[in-house]
């Protein structure tokens, strides 16, 4: 952000620190490819089969954990157009907030100057690009544009975390398969969610993509219809992670944000931390 009157107001309203990272630094777009090679940048996509599964909660908290506890510069790309989840969770307010709808150029032409205007710097090394709240301004969802944007972002950030609506996934699965390091699909443990997830897996046809697929069952102790053992038998695909529900953590997340969640040693927090650590080792080690 530039040190002008508007950015000062934004920083004051959001109670953020000035730009904290050197994602852009003194580099120019011409030198960015060299940075990409050094950083070994990674992309993780989070999506869910049914609404209310807590996918945004998972991706927001895991992004905050990586930024706070790992030596990586994290970019959270929220693709949930029309939703304010990330704005509320990270307490992002103000009249001068930019989002994806403000991208007016060809997506492959985005450079550091535009990213400085578009990216919001949060605590630690976490940065975020917000979704447009106006559906008439979601040009990013047109064919090929998400891939182009990811290609640019990977020049500047170590880790790009994407909160992607499920209905966009299959249209871009093949084109993104080589660019994405991990697909994480979030589901609840009720009967409807598990059957929908089983149907999704049966249509997950790309062999290279299936190797990157990871299933996460959230809120497995909340009104559960199917036991973890039966879930495994139904899906016939390994579920590595079961995240329990905790009402106190949900309240903490909504009132104090994703970073505050990891100040506690509750069962849900431990499960999130273990999931994040295992994924970090898998994609970087």
List the domains of the chain with CATH numbers.
5-17+32-284 (3.40.50.300)
Q: Which two tokens stand for residue 143?
A: 């064919």
Residue 44 clears pLDDT 90, i.e. is over it: yes
Q: What is the overall mean pLDDT for the chain?
A: 81
Q: Mention every residue, 6+ apart, whose C-beta is less than 8 A from residue 230.
A: none
Rounded CA gap, 204 and 196, in Å? 12
Average pLDDT of the residues in 252-259? 95
**For the chain, what percentages of helix, strand and coil (3-state, to nearest 5) are there?**
45, 15, 40
Sign of the CA dihedral with 130 first, then 133, 134, and 138 last = positive
Sign of the CA dihedral with 47 first, then 157, 182, and 246 last = negative
pLDDT at 147: 81
Sign of the CA dihedral with 269 first, then 241, 60, and 69 last = positive
Q: What are phi and psi of 216, to 5 degrees?
A: -125, 125
**Closest to 162 (Cα-Cα) out of 12, 245, 261, 41:** 41
Rounded CA gap, 92 and 120, in Å? 9
- Note the pLDDT tens digit of each residue in 83-123: 999 999 999 988 788 888 888 777 777 888 888 888 999 98
Strands 42-48 and 74-78: unpaired
Residue 3 clears pLDDT 50, i.e. is over it: no
Cα angle 4, 112, 110; round to 5: 115
| Percentage of the chain modeled with pLDDT above 90 | 45
Residue 21 clears pLDDT 50, i.e. is over it: no
């Amino acid at each position: 952000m530039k040190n002008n009157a508007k950015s000062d107001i934004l920083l004051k309203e959001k109670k953020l620190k000035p730009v904290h990272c050197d994602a852009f630094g003194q580099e120019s777009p011409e030198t960015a490819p060299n940075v990409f090679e050094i950083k070994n940048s990674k992309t993780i996509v989070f999506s869910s089969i049914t609404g209310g599964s807590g996918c945004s909660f998972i991706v927001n908290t895991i992004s905050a954990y990586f930024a706070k506890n790992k030596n990586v510069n994290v970019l959270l790309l929220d693709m949930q157009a029309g939703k304010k989840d990330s704005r509320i969770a990270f307490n992002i307010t103000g009249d001068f907030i930019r989002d994806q709808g403000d991208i007016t150029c060809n997506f492959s032409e985005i450079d550091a100057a535009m990213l400085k205007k578009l990216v919001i710097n949060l605590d630690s090394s976490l940065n975020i690009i917000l979704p447009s709240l106006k559906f008439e301004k979601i040009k990013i969802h047109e064919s090929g544009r998400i891939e182009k944007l990811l290609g640019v972002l990977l020049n500047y950030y170590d880790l790009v975390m994407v909160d992607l609506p499920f209905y966009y996934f299959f249209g871009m699965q093949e084109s993104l398969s080589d660019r994405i390091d991990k697909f994480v699909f979030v589901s609840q443990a009720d009967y409807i969610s598990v059957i929908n997830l089983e149907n999704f897996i049966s249509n997950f046809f790309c062999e290279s993509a299936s190797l990157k697929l990871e299933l996460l069952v959230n809120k497995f102790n909340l009104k559960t219809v199917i036991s973890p053992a039966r879930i495994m038998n139904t899906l016939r695909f390994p579920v590595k992670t079961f995240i329990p529900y905790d009402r106190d953590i949900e309240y903490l997340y909504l009132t104090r944000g994703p970073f505050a969640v990891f100040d506690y040693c509750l069962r849900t927090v431990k499960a999130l931390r273990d999931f994040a650590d295992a994924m970090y080792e898998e994609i970087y080690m």
